[in-house]
């Protein structure tokens, strides 16, 4: 279908062309791999930082306000400004991109984890206490498992928005698939290159979202009957 449509629209500069994909498969695969690895690392780091923060906010109520406010302010700062603040210090490259997207993913994961932890019914908490669970045992065996749906929602939202955000990394030359999109724009508006980058970006977000959704189903078997 794309052949005929693109042929009619403009034979010289189609929106999509297999020819382009075949001829540049190396570049495309490299960009896709870079994008996926940046996303995976960013979400992993963000989760590792966000979970302790959320637990701290959950245990020590006075900390909850400042932690949520801090991540909220980070979220208000435009991505390009964050790149601008970090690039002169961290230089041009993957470290800067990673730092920026991690800061954005933090808010989403922290907020959803705190919400998940606070939704644990008080009876369950009291029952756990009555059974002799300490603070850590209760957290690891009772509260975190029950908060898993919230945590996974946070991870999924963070992953999808991170995939989109990584493209802004073109400003420091490491935008993954954004590199394709931007190069296509600069390269005499090469529509096929722009479209390929965009489609792969959206597909990557979709695939990662589905993978996380499947993972979520696998680790919360007790919710399966209730889901629908």
Partner 1 sequence: MSNPVGQAVLWLNDPLNWTNPGGILDRLGEHLGMSAAAVLLGCLVAWPVGLWLGHTGRGGGLVVLVSNVTLAIPTLALLTILPLTFLGFGRPAVVVALAVFAVPPLLANAYTGVRQTDPEARDAARGMGLSGGQVLRRVELPLAVPYLAAGFRTAAVQVVATAALASFVNGGGLGQIIRAGFGLDIAAGGGQIIAGGLLVAGLAMLVELVLALVERLVTPRPLRPARRRANRRAADAVAVAVAGS
Contact region with partner 1 (CB under 8 A), list: 20-28, 120-128, 131-139, 168-176 = 168-176
Among residues 33 and 135, whose Cβ is nearest to partner 1?
33
CA-CA distance, 227 to 79, in Å (whole number)?
Answer: 36
Among residues 22 and 76, whose Cβ is nearest to partner 1?
76
User: Cβ distance 110 to 53 under 8 Å?
Assistant: yes
CA-CA distance, 206 to 159, in Å (whole number)?
Answer: 10
34: CB partners within 8 A, 6+ apart: 174, 176, 179
Q: How far is the CB of 157 from partner 1 (least distance, A)?
A: 7
CA-CA distance, 146 to 142, in Å (whole number)?
Answer: 6
Binding positions for partner 1, 52-91, rule CB under 8 A: 73, 76-85, 87-89, 91
Judge residue 121's burial from the number of C-beta atoms within 10 Å of its C-beta, 0-12 exposed, 13-18 middle, 19 or more buried: exposed
Binding positions for partner 1, 125-154, rule CB under 8 A: 149-150, 152-153
Residues that bind partner 1 in the complex, under the rule CB under 8 A: 73, 76-85, 87-89, 91-92, 112, 115, 149-150, 152-153, 156-157, 160-161, 163-165, 167-168, 170-172, 175, 177-178, 181-182, 184-185, 189, 191, 194-195, 197-198, 201-202, 205-206, 209, 227
């Amino acid at each position: 279908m794309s052949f005929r449509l693109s042929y009619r629209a403009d034979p010289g500069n189609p929106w999509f062309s297999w020819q382009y994909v075949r001829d540049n498969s190396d570049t495309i695969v490299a960009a896709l791999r870079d994008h996926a690895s940046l996303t995976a690392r960013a979400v992993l780091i963000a989760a590792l930082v966000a979970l302790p923060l959320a637990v701290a906010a959950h245990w020590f109520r006075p900390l909850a306000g400042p932690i949520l406010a801090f991540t909220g302010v980070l979220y208000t700062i435009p991505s390009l400004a964050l790149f601008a603040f970090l690039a002169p210090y961290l230089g041009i490259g993957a470290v800067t991109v990673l730092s920026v997207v991690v800061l954005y993913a933090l808010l989403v994961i922290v907020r959803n984890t705190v919400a998940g932890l606070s939704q644990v019914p008080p009876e369950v908490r009291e029952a756990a206490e009555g059974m002799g669970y300490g603070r850590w045992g209760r957290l690891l065996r009772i509260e975190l498992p029950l908060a898993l749906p919230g945590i996974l929602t946070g991870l999924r939202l963070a992953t999808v928005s991170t995939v989109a955000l990584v493209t802004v990394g073109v400003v420091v030359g490491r935008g993954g698939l954004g590199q394709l999109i931007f190069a296509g724009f600069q390269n005499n508006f090469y529509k096929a290159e722009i479209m390929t980058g965009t489609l792969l970006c959206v597909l990557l977000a979709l695939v990662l979202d589905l993978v996380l959704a499947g993972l979520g189903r696998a680790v919360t078997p007790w919710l399966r009957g209730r889901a629908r």
